[in-house]
């Protein structure tokens, strides 16, 4: 069994990931011994990662979107495997890559994923009515789930897919009342537009919802927006893309290690690393340094020791 599994999601980014891999395959084979799997769906992907772990795999490289990295990370965390996750972003949003400072150039991203030394990344854990899951970038309640459902229904997604889906969701979303407790204390009660429990900085393809978040500081950045008119949100969208919204009147911000969400009416599905999960009452807990991810290579062809090093991304 090769010490590295490369998991390619050919459907990510409307087929972009499959095309990326065709261009990168020969380079990858020169860089490291590896086994490549191109699965037909989510369950086959999970099985491939589990089988690789059972065979002694030391590194899993996810070639695809945020959902591909999310799936691989969840299998690693559930298995409590001491395995490094490498990420080659080729999806529609690729927001996790922004948080981790992964190069946009596919060749550079591949070299980092295959050869970069392990670095410790914080992880979020959600326990809710429909079960539990891990997340590595952002989990959100409110309008985000509607946006994800719209984007995921588009077979071929262009650069403006998330923006168009956001504008469409603004026309249909109605705020639901919730209670939110933070680190055991009541923090908010009222109508909810969005609550972002953030480990990384962006969601929705570059919307800087949590501009001050760091994925290795042992804290969530919480950004909550209460009820606000749709036309006002459209006007403020540029602020969101530039991360200049935290001082706006409908926005609440703080850091925390645990968040308890209690919906008082039905909410849309949760948005979790760009994927959707059933919503409901849930507790989000920060797990410091729980996942090893591939950092910048120390030198070509040489892997460094595992370290907890700041990603330095704001």
232 given a catalytic annotation: no
Please name the residue ranges forming H helices in the chain. 12-31, 42-54, 66-79, 95-100, 106-115, 144-152, 161-172, 230-242
Q: Do 102 and 87 contact (CB within 8 A), yes or no? A: yes
Q: What DSSP string describes 129-143?
A: TTEEEEESSEEEEET
**Type and span of the H or E element at 260:** strand 258-263
179 beta partners: 189, 262
The pair of three-digit structure tokens given for residue 293, joined into one six-digit string: 């991810």
Residues 6+ apart with CB under 8 A from 237: 166
Neighbours of 186 (CB within 10 A): 10
- Candidates 43, 78, 275, 306; catalytic one: 275
Q: How far apart are the C-alpha atoms of 203 and 241, rounded to whole Å?
A: 10
Q: Tell me the CB-side half-sphere exposure of residue 22, using CA atoms within 13 A.
A: 6
Helix orientation angle between 66-79 and 42-54, rounded to the nearest 10 degrees: 40
Q: How far apart are the C-alpha atoms of 247 and 223, rounded to whole Å?
A: 11
**What are the catalytic residues?**
275
């Amino acid at each position: 069994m090769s010490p590295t599994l490369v998991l390619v999601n050919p459907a990510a980014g409307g087929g972009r990931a499959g095309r990326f891999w065709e261009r990168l395959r020969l380079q990858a084979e020169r860089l490291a011994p590896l086994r490549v799997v191109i699965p037909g769906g989510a369950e086959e992907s999970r099985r491939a990662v589990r089988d690789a772990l059972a065979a002694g795999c030391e590194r899993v490289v996810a070639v695809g979107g945020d959902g591909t990295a999310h799936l691989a990370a969840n299998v690693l965390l559930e298995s409590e495997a001491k395995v490094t996750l490498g990420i080659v972003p080729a999806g529609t949003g690729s927001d996790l890559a922004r948080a981790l400072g992964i190069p946009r150039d596919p060749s550079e991203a591949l070299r980092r994923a295959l050869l970069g030394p392990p670095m410790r990344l914080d992880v979020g854990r959600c326990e809710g009515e429909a079960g539990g899951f891990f997340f590595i970038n952002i989990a959100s309640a409110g309008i985000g789930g509607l946006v994800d459902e719209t984007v995921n229904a588009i077979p071929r997604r262009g650069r403006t897919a998330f923006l168009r889906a956001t504008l469409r969701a603004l026309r249909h979303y109605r705020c639901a009342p919730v209670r939110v407790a933070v680190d055991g204390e009541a923090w908010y009660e009222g109508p909810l537009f969005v609550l972002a429990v953030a480990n990384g900085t962006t969601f929705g393809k570059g919307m800087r919802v949590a501009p001050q978040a760091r994925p290795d500081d042992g804290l969530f950045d919480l950004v909550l927006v209460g009820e606000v008119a749709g036309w006002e949100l459209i006007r403020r969208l540029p602020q969101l893309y530039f991360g200049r919204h935290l001082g706006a009147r409908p926005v609440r911000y703080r850091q925390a290690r645990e968040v308890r969400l209690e919906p008082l009416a039905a909410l849309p599905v949760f948005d979790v690393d760009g994927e959707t999960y059933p919503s409901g009452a849930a507790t989000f807990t920060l797990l410091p340094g729980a996942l090893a991810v591939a950092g910048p290579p120390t030198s070509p062809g040489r892997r460094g020791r595992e370290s907890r090093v700041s990603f330095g991304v704001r």
